[in-house]
A and B are shown apart, each in its own frame.
Chain A
């Protein structure tokens, strides 16, 4: 009668995994450290913040609030005494907006590459110093060519080594399955207020949808609002999961 192969008992599974070189690192579940952007509802949506050591993507059309959210994350990073890099492939960064959001400018390295190839290389270089908590790669609105898979893998690995949040700002999803977390922002409405004869742009309401989250729950969405002068809990509307 043929004998069935004997499987290792459950308690020796870890030993077995550790005995195979190169396997245990892929299988070991490392706890994900998160970088909170200090906007409570969004941090709740992201289960504590953006995952460190991972490539995340934040995309949306014009005036959806993605830059504001990235600036807010940068402000949170600098407030904690850490440093961030803004790779500005679009050459669109507005320093006054950073000041208004409470970013400590000396803790921000602003890189203005002349092409998307330079932007990718700049991101990899910045991550190689292993001292920046956040690297924002602002792609701009023009995407002349789709980056190769190899480029994303390199960035993923660099981010993992640096234990930094690599946040990609794009008008549409670029990184695909290489992004651990992908959030889409969609503008709902702009809010205008009239004081006497004068009108003011007060803020924006946007819908944040977590389309992909390999580090937590997917398909969560919330409305978030920016630019309101008066904070109100009522302005945050939690939506049910799709």
Chain B
């Protein structure tokens, strides 16, 4: 099986530049801590031009370049960049083995000829995808992981090593590139073996006798033989982007700016993996108050940054954080977008992004519990209604319900809560009704219809319903509650 190595050089720096692309052309270094004695972990190309390289002390680097931008290593950014790199690889192959930071091995079995015409084309596609994720990647394809990794570390862009070229490529490289133990490397140097080409010349049996199994593995690796087969791992489906701030943010505008960048990165990752965002989880680290978690539902799963940002803004406006933030994590709940055939003869609804925004705005204005689709619960009680999130049951409907009858039934307008009224009865039927907003002699009436249910529970329901027409012209639905021994007007027919 051919193996590709996906490699992002200077990974801690790449993680920073992914979050702050405006620094790409600047002299930037990433250090463990911003102290003069700290070692430079990664340096940008501009910093290299000033003579700054990894391993140097920060103080030395700052002496070389006065305008040097120093960034501390950021675990949140590293984690996000790792996940993004993994997503990029997972979007191009199902066989993935993550190695150290910035290195992922990818199996090409079954891909060439089906998904892509050639290995070079596949590798170019992977590099392009990584660039969309904000990661400058290199890809090399070879027979073994070692050859692929060394080629990726050596050359920019895409490299495809043919099997017959591998030996000539590896020969001039130093033995240290094969990552032997320090003791073994010292022994080989004492023998005068400095390059892989020299190591390949050694007889395998003799090396085994003198250096043991470690030496044998090293020589076989140098000869281009597979010593470590690819061990694919399942792809985690976690889409999270995080950001830590140097100083606390206590204003919504700068926070929205940051959140937009996080959502941009998240949606690109979701799209690459074929998912849409069905919900957002927001974790806010408040200064002096720890982590605070929030969940934001997305009515229509989509990857529109504008719509998702609108949702987050509305949520934060409605429930602003109680203290300044020094870190934020946004996690998207992925959902596979179900393909469906649209009807040519039926209108399409609102665009998902627009609908999501409008639902969020309405929820923000009126409250979450006051916006949704009406639902009729499966009960005999006539006083229970509920709301479901709008769009949650849309897929189950056909949209082809036939008309119920030629003439529509009378609709009821409910009084919430029911109006308590006085009812004067004569011969066991309502004769006069007096209450707020209504009153009069009963002109016509129908009933009673008795409903008794849930007598086994804590809230027994026993009512006698009447339809009455009062002398004021109104048609009302009355009921008498058996438990309270009280008359109520449930609603008016209109």
Q: Which residues of A contact B (CB under 8 A)?
A: 38-39, 61-68, 70-72, 75, 78-83, 90-102, 104-114, 118, 121-122, 125-126, 128-133, 141, 187, 190, 192, 198-201, 203-204, 225-229, 231, 235
CB-CB nearest in chain B for A97: B411
Q: Which of A92, A118, A203 has the most CB of B within 10 A?
A: A92
B residues less than 8 Å from A235 (CB atoms): 407
B residues less than 8 Å from A75 (CB atoms): 403-404, 408
B residues less than 8 Å from A95 (CB atoms): 374-376, 385
Contact of B346 among A80, A114, A226 (CB under 8 A): A80
CB-CB nearest in chain B for A138: B413
Task: Tell me if B445 counts as interface (CB < 8 A to partner A).
Answer: yes
Q: A64-B494, A66-B494, A80-B347 are in contact. Are A94 and B355 (CB under 8 A)?
A: no
B residues less than 8 Å from A98 (CB atoms): 374, 411
A91 to B376 Cα, complex, angstroms = 16
B367 → chain A closest CB, angstroms: 8
A residues less than 8 Å from B354 (CB atoms): 128-131
A72 to B410 Cα, complex, angstroms = 10
State which of B83-91, B234-242, B356-364 sits at the interface with chain A: B356-364
Cβ B409 vs Cβ A101 within 8 A: yes
Q: Which of A62, A67, A72, A78 has the most CB of B within 10 A?
A: A62
CB-CB nearest in chain B for A93: B374
Q: Which residues of B contact A (CB under 8 A)?
A: 343, 346-351, 354-355, 357-359, 361-362, 365-367, 370-376, 382, 385, 387-388, 390-394, 396-397, 399-416, 437, 444-447, 467, 469, 472-475, 491-494
Shortest 3 CB-CB contacts between residues of A and residues of B: A131-B350, A81-B399, A231-B406
Cβ A227 vs Cβ B409 within 8 A: yes
Cβ A199 vs Cβ B349 within 8 A: no
Cβ A225 vs Cβ B407 within 8 A: yes
Cβ B401 vs Cβ A102 within 8 A: yes
Cβ A81 vs Cβ B405 within 8 A: no
Contact of A110 among B372, B397, B400 (CB under 8 A): B372
B residues less than 8 Å from A198 (CB atoms): 446
CB-CB nearest in chain A for B367: A114
B82 → chain A closest CB, angstroms: 38
A198 to B445 Cα, complex, angstroms = 10
A residues less than 8 Å from B406 (CB atoms): 231
Cβ A97 vs Cβ B409 within 8 A: yes
B residues less than 8 Å from A68 (CB atoms): 408-411, 494
B470 → chain A closest CB, angstroms: 9
CB-CB nearest in chain B for A112: B370
B residues less than 8 Å from A83 (CB atoms): 349-350
A85 → chain B closest CB, angstroms: 9
Contact of B349 among A71, A131, A200 (CB under 8 A): A131
Q: A95-B385, A105-B375, A203-B407 are in contact. Are A65 and B366 (CB under 8 A)?
A: no
A residues less than 8 Å from B393 (CB atoms): 105-106
A131 to B351 Cα, complex, angstroms = 7
B residues less than 8 Å from A101 (CB atoms): 404, 408-409, 411
A-B pairs with CB below 8 Å: how many?
Answer: 217
B81 → chain A closest CB, angstroms: 36
Cβ B387 vs Cβ A113 within 8 A: no
A99 to B382 Cα, complex, angstroms = 13
* 29 pairs, A vs B, C-beta closer than 8 Å: A63-B475, A65-B410, A67-B494, A72-B408, A78-B399, A79-B400, A81-B343, A81-B399, A82-B349, A91-B414, A94-B385, A95-B374, A97-B410, A100-B404, A102-B402, A102-B403, A104-B397, A104-B401, A106-B397, A110-B371, A114-B367, A125-B365, A129-B354, A129-B357, A203-B410, A204-B410, A227-B410, A228-B407, A235-B407
CB-CB nearest in chain A for B393: A106
Q: A65-B494, A95-B376, A110-B387 are in contact. Are A133 and B347 (CB under 8 A)?
A: yes
Cβ B390 vs Cβ A109 within 8 A: yes
Q: Which of B375, B447, B475 has the most CB of A within 10 A?
A: B475
Cβ B410 vs Cβ A118 within 8 A: no
B residues less than 8 Å from A190 (CB atoms): 444, 469, 475
Cβ A131 vs Cβ B475 within 8 A: no
Cβ B376 vs Cβ A199 within 8 A: no
Q: A96-B376, A227-B409 are in contact. Are A107 and B444 (CB under 8 A)?
A: no
B residues less than 8 Å from A62 (CB atoms): 472-474, 492, 494
Cβ A129 vs Cβ B399 within 8 A: no
A residues less than 8 Å from B409 (CB atoms): 68, 97, 100-101, 226-227
B residues less than 8 Å from A106 (CB atoms): 373, 388, 390-394, 396-397
Contact of B493 among A61, A63, A90, A200 (CB under 8 A): A63
A227 to B348 Cα, complex, angstroms = 32
B residues less than 8 Å from A72 (CB atoms): 408
Cβ A118 vs Cβ B385 within 8 A: no
CB-CB nearest in chain A for B369: A112
Q: A67-B494, A121-B365, A201-B446 are in contact. Are A109 and B408 (CB under 8 A)?
A: no
A192 to B416 Cα, complex, angstroms = 27
A110 to B374 Cα, complex, angstroms = 6
A residues less than 8 Å from B416 (CB atoms): 91-92
A67 to B283 Cα, complex, angstroms = 45
